[in-house]
């Protein structure tokens, strides 16, 4: 995977062979500001900003942008699917078990993939997905007060 993040949503769409549309720009710009957002959050924010955009349109934008490598779709267990614009660098995630907050975690050592399985079963491995689970600082403080 090569990073696709150029910082310019219009150019990203063009480079991916997609037409530049207001919903696509709004989705990419929103995910730059709010990484790890759910599709429902993205849809509500895009509708608020653009008006008459259907939820289905936003879901279609998320799907096609993920397929073209402009967005990364992550699925932490027990949590709704989330999207982020940081792609192509094999980073991982830290998820709070209590509030669901998600943060990026860079690979600690080596080149991607940063983990090697004990056997590859003949696969040519190009990515490792790791999710770390725990309690974020605010949830730790809340648990200590109980």
Domains, in order of start, for the chain: 9-82 (1.10.10.10), 90-145 (3.30.1490.190)
Cis bond leading into 113, ω under 30°? yes
Please report the pLDDT score of residue 18 as a whole number: 96
Q: What CA dihedral angle connects 84, 86, 89 and 90, to 10 degrees?
A: -20
Contact 104, 91 (CB under 8 A): yes
The pLDDT tens digits of the residues spanning 97-140 come to 999 899 998 875 555 556 677 788 998 887 777 888 999 999 99
What average pLDDT does this structure show over 84-104? 90
CA distance 32 to 16: 17
Res 145 pLDDT > 70: yes
pLDDT, average across residues 9-21: 95
Residue with tokens 């759910």: 38
Q: What are the pLDDT digits (tens) for 47-70?
A: 999 988 999 999 999 999 999 999
Q: What is the mean pLDDT of the chain?
A: 88
């Amino acid at each position: 995977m090569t990073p696709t993040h150029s910082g310019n949503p219009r150019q990203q769409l063009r480079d991916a062979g997609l037409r530049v549309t207001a919903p696509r720009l709004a989705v990419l710009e929103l995910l730059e500001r709010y990484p790890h957002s759910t599709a429902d959050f993205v849809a509500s924010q895009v509708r608020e900003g653009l008006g008459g955009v259907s939820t289905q349109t936003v879901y279609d934008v998320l799907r096609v942008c993920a397929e073209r490598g402009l967005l990364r779709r992550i699925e932490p267990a027990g949590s709704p699917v989330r999207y982020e614009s940081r792609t192509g660098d094999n980073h991982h995630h830290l998820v709070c078990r209590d509030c669901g907050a998600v943060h990026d975690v860079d690979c600690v050592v080596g080149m991607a993939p940063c983990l090697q399985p004990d056997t590859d079963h003949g696969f040519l491995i190009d990515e490792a997905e790791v999710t770390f689970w725990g309690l974020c600082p605010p949830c730790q403080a809340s648990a200590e007060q109980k």
